[in-house]
Structure 1
Amino acid sequence: MNKVFLVEKMKPGVEMRGYDEEVVVAEEVEAKVRWVMESEGCQALRRRVAAMKDAAAEALKEGGSSHAAFVKFLDDLQAPSGLVRA
């Protein structure tokens, strides 16, 4: 499930052959690391990861979606008798 999400859906990762057999050989790891560091294809990967990083930073800023959700969570914890305020 993680592989599908990271490699196929969000696309910040690359698939390692052998992951489904419980062993990824060192040559496969080396090949993927070299690809990420040296290939032309890695530029798109790096752009996607940078965009995700920027989106996460925005969400965490005051007023961002993650910040707002956390503030609401804290407010809900402080509600008397465990009742959640709307």
Structure 2
Amino acid sequence: MFYLFLDLIKSQTTEDEFKKILKDTDNDITFNRVYFWKTTNLKEYIRISQDEYTKLMQLKESNYTKANTSLQELSIK
């Protein structure tokens, strides 16, 4: 199940994005869980990774929208 999840995310992102998602997931776990003596099971790891994926895609979409808006404003002038 875990490997299928990773394959799915990897197929929907670039290699740099995929690495960023995994790095951000690990950072989240380290900061929020290890420092507070909590453990993270596989299901939680997948949920955190999904959250990181969602954040990245929203940021990507936001940047794409801003870039298009800027280009449209330039073409209007």
TM-score tier by shorter-chain length is 0.3 to 0.5
Greater percentage in helix: 2
**Larger CA Rg, structure 1 vs 2:** 1
Higher relative contact order structure (alpha carbons within 8 Å, sequence separation ≥ 6): 2
- TM-score, normalised to structure 1, is 0.31
- TM-score, normalised to structure 2, is 0.34
